[in-house]
């Protein structure tokens, strides 16, 4: 199954047609015939990305409650376990080494990379779908090769995550909404 910036649950049955259903915030259910291949299912999802995006937005409350300090601590603890493991998995694929990994709660950035190779990540990434977390990790690791956003930089990101654009789009659409939930 192709990586999408939302969770995909596939339910196969003896039905004759394929259908999409919003299963909640960040989750889609695909009901498919038994005989349909994963490639066909992926293609169907690709064709309906704008519909999915529109309906996922309406499934996420636009003015969700503020994140409490306790929730932030929990997110930071989860991020301290999850994100370094992702960095360790993707660094060899990018072909780079890295320094320290720091987890913070930020209102304007998802991640950053210093000239020394230290990586910073926002604990709010734990509220994002897994493919989005992968994208942010790969994005920051690619800054070890290119400390800019030139075409060469984006080529490196695409080399590791060919479908990164969907995750980038998700962050543009949903990211600010998540960050607004952090109290000053």
Amino acid 63: pLDDT: 64
For the chain, the domains span: 7-59, 69-179
CA 3, distance to chain mean position in Å, is 9
Each residue's pLDDT tens digit, 92-114? 999 999 999 999 998 889 999 99
Decide if pLDDT at 25 tops 90: no
Check residue 57 and give left, alpha or beta (phi > 0: left; psi -120 to 50: alpha).
Answer: alpha
**Whole-angstrom Cα distance, residue 169 to residue 29?**
20
Out of 43-52, 85-94, 95-104, 169-178, pick the least confident.
Answer: 169-178
pLDDT for the residue 184: 61
DSSP, collapsed to helix, strand or coil, labels residue 93 as: helix
What was the pLDDT predicted at 107? 83
Could you please state the CATH topology (level 3) that the domain comprising 69-179 is classified under.
Zincin-like (3.30.2010)
Per-residue pLDDT averaged across 25-30, rounded?
87
Query: Are the beta carbons of 104 and 83 closer than 8 angstroms?
Result: no
pLDDT of residue 173: 79
16: alpha, beta or left, given left = phi > 0 and alpha = psi -120 to 50? alpha
Stretch 36-59: mean pLDDT, rounded? 88
Q: Extract the tokens encoding 78.
A: 């989860």
pLDDT tens readout for residues 137-163: 999 999 999 999 999 999 999 999 999
Distance CA 116, CA 119 (A): 9
Global pTM value: 0.69
Query: How many angstroms separate the CA atoms of 52 and 125, rounded?
Result: 21
End-to-end CA distance of the chain: 40
Region 77-95 average pLDDT: 97
In this predicted structure, the answer to whether residue 58 has a pLDDT above a threshold of 70 is no
Question: What pLDDT is stored for residue 62 in this prediction?
Answer: 58
Q: Would the pLDDT of 60 be above 60?
A: no
pLDDT of 116 over the 70 cut: yes
pLDDT at 122: 97
């Amino acid at each position: 199954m192709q990586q999408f910036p939302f969770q995909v649950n596939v339910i196969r049955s003896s039905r004759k047609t394929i259908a999409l259903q919003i299963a909640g915030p960040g989750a889609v259910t695909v009901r498919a015939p038994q005989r349909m291949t994963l490639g066909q299912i992926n293609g169907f999802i690709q064709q309906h990305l704008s519909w999915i995006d529109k309906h996922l937005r309406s499934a996420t409350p636009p003015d969700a409650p503020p994140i409490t300090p306790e929730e932030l601590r929990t997110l930071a603890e989860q991020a301290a376990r999850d994100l370094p493991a992702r960095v360790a998995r993707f660094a060899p694929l990018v072909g780079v080494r890295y320094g320290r990994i720091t987890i913070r709660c930020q209102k304007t950035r998802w991640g950053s990379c210093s000239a020394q190779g230290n990586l910073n990540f926002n604990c709010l990434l734990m509220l994002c779908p897994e493919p989005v977390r992968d994208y942010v990790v790969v994005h920051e690791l690619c800054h070890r090769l290119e400390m800019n956003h030139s075409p060469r930089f984006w080529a490196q990101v695409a080399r590791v995550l060919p479908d990164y654009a969907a995750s980038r789009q998700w962050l543009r659409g949903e990211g600010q909404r998540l960050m607004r939930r952090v109290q000053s």
